[in-house]
């Protein structure tokens, strides 16, 4: 059996190269590849940097869909489905708009893929693919080892992506993360993350968590595990980190060289309810 994984681009003018921006490794693809049984052949196309071979033999196509790639993903899906190749879609957009995605796929995965992937592959082998697989509420973030060999020979940025947690405990009402995870955050064991980092042989990492300091105690656990590795890493955080000097020092000691912080607004009138207190305390003039 052969599974073809496709990471769609935002859009593409056929025959023209996609504008090369943010060419980081698509970690979710390597996680999916790691879930495949050993006897399942895996092919992979990164639509952002290479043409998709629509004629290549495959038993099923799997697309990871975000809102900004949804239209492109649907176009790709139609071309395979015209050939009779079943298409599976999952990801944030599919979970938040399952009815829309279901019109464009033979099967959709809502929520996390890990809890349902084994069953989905078994159903494909049995010729019994179901229309919907629901991984919500079944999350176990252990023994994750993305199959990074999937990325070989592609010109990705020289930084290794790794995941510590999914979700965020804040409830910013403009945010897809809280809509998907319902203001909860689940972590892998910090030791496991450090071990995975060591196994990659890299010394430059992007911790992809949407808010690595959402639970400060968990962020401290990660810092304690990463400090001995003497690596460099960057991540994403909420502005609350600016008021926690101790955690900032621990982050720096652990090798954190930068945190991306999204500023929705510095106008107090625009602050959403969960930001009012922290924004006011950080910017007293607001
Ligand atoms: S802090 Fe960031 S990740 Fe968390 S809900 Fe708000 S915008 Fe989303």
Contact 184, 214 (CB under 8 A): no
Minimum-distance ligand 1 atom for the alpha carbon of 177? 8
Mutate-to-test residue for ligand 1 from 212, 238, 242, highest number of ligand atoms within 8 A of CB: 238
Domains and CATH numbers, the chain: 2-134 (3.40.50.280), 158-282 (3.40.50)
180 lines ligand 1 (CB under 6 A): no
238 lines ligand 1 (CB under 6 A): yes
177 lines ligand 1 (CB under 6 A): yes
Q: What's the confidence (pLDDT) of residue 52? A: 94
In whole angstroms, give the CA distance from residue 119 to residue 199: 29
**Cα–ligand 1 centroid distance for 180 (angstroms):** 11
Q: What's the confidence (pLDDT) of residue 40? A: 96
Q: Which residue has the tokens 């990074």?
A: 148
In whole angstroms, give the CA distance from residue 89 to residue 20: 24
Q: What residue ranges in the chain does DSSP mark as E strands?
A: 2-7, 41-46, 60-64, 87-90, 107-110, 132-134, 160-162, 165-167, 185-187, 204-207, 232-237, 256-261
The helix/strand/coil state of 261 is: strand
Which region, left, alpha or beta, applies to residue 207 given φ > 0 means left and ψ of -120 to 50 means alpha?
A: beta
Q: Which residues of the chain have pLDDT under 70?
A: 17-22, 270-286
Q: What's the confidence (pLDDT) of residue 285? A: 39
Ramachandran angles phi, psi of 189, nearest 5°: -60, 130
168 lines ligand 1 (CB under 6 A): yes
Average pLDDT of the chain to the nearest whole number: 91
Q: In what order do the strands lie in the sheet with 107-110?
A: 41-46, 2-7, 60-64, 87-90, 107-110, 132-134
Q: What's the confidence (pLDDT) of residue 278? A: 40
**Cα–ligand 1 centroid distance for 243 (angstroms):** 17
Task: Report the nearest-CA residue for atom 8 of ligand 1.
Answer: 175
Task: Report the nearest-CA residue for atom 6 of ligand 1.
Answer: 172
**Residues in the chain, overall count:** 286
**Cα–ligand 1 centroid distance for 139 (angstroms):** 20
236 lines ligand 1 (CB under 6 A): no
Q: What's the confidence (pLDDT) of residue 270? A: 65
Spatial CA neighbour of 227 closest among 268, 193, 260, 186: 193
69 lines ligand 1 (CB under 6 A): no
103-147: pLDDT as tens digits: 999 999 999 999 999 999 999 999 999 999 999 988 889 889 999
**Cα–ligand 1 centroid distance for 274 (angstroms):** 10
Minimum-distance ligand 1 atom for the alpha carbon of 274? 6
């Amino acid at each position: 059996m052969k599974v073809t994984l496709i990471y769609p681009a935002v859009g593409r003018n056929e025959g023209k190269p996609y504008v090369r921006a943010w060419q980081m490794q698509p970690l979710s693809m390597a996680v999916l590849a790691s879930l495949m049984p050993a006897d399942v052949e895996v092919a992979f196309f990164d639509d952002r940097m290479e043409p998709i071979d629509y004629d290549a033999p495959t038993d099923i196509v799997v697309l990871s869909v975000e809102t900004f790639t949804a239209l492109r993903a649907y176009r790709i899906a139609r071309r395979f489905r015209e050939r009779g190749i079943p298409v599976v879609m999952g990801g944030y957009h599919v979970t938040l708009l399952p009815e829309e995605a279901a019109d464009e796929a033979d099967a959709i995965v809502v929520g996390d893929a890990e809890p349902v992937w084994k069953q989905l592959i078994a159903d494909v082998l049995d010729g019994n693919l179901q229309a919907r697989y629901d991984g919500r509420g079944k999350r176990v973030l252990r023994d994750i080892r993305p199959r990074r060999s999937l990325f070989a020979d592609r010109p990705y940025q020289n930084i290794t992506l790794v995941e510590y947690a999914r979700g965020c405990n804040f409830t910013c009402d403009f945010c897809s993360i809280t809509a998907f995870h319902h203001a909860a955050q689940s972590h892998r064991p910090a030791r496991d993350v450090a071990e995975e980092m060591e196994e990659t042989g890299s010394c430059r990492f992007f911790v992809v968590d949407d808010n690595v300091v959402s639970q400060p105690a968990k962020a401290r656990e990660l810092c304690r595990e990463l400090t001995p590795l003497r690596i460099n890493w960057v991540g994403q955080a909420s502005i609350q980190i600016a008021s926690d000097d101790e955690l900032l020092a621990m982050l720096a000691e652990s090798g954190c060289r930068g945190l991306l912080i999204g500023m929705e607004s510095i106008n107090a009138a625009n602050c959403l309810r969960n930001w009012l207190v922290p924004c006011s305390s950080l910017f007293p003039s607001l």
